[in-house]
Amino acid sequence: MASISSNPPGKITVRRVKLERSYERYLWLFMRLSGVAMLILAVGHMVIQHVLNSSTNLTIQFVAAQWDNWGWKAFDILLLWMAIPHGIRGLFNILSDYIHNNGARRVISVILGLFVVATVIWATIAIVLFDPAIVP
């Protein structure tokens, strides 16, 4: 890890610093790692579902055929686990730039945290338990 100071202007000095382990730092790292993973997972999902296939001929039968395969289920679960926390953390980072009251920030972070947990659990149950046989 490195921090930076540019003095004199235009000249960049790189200084190695030791960072303490903290919750914030792991979330910062999670944003980078999930971002790199989603270059494959999310961009891949968009290309497969919206370019190679198209939502103009998407049906529940198509979904049932895909989710008859544990590979596709795993792909979607992995993407879900990365995308929802990444997106909500990003929203929290944006809100933190404009909300300076610590109490309000804490309330928002708890609400958003609960939302992440609820969404991830709900959607994971849906993907795992989805039974292609129920689709006529």
Binding site for other proteins (CB under 8 A): 2-4, 12, 14, 32, 35-36, 38-39, 42-43, 46-47, 50-51, 54-60, 63, 67, 80, 83-84, 87-88, 90-91, 94, 98, 119, 122-123, 125-127, 129-131, 134-136
What string of DSSP letters covers 48-96? IIIIIS-GGG--HHHHHHHTTSHHHHHHHHHHHHHHHHHHHHHHHHHHH
Report whether 41 contacts 55 (CB < 8 A): no
The partner residues of 16 in beta bridges, in order of sequence, read 2
Interacting residues of 60 by C-beta distance below 8 A, sequence separation 6+: 135
Spatial distance between the Cα atoms of 55 and 72, rounded to a whole number of angstroms: 17
- Minimal distance, residue 50 CB to other proteins, in Å: 6
Of residues 12 and 23, the one with the C-beta less far from other proteins: 12
Asked whether 13 and 6 are in contact (CB, 8 A), the reply is yes
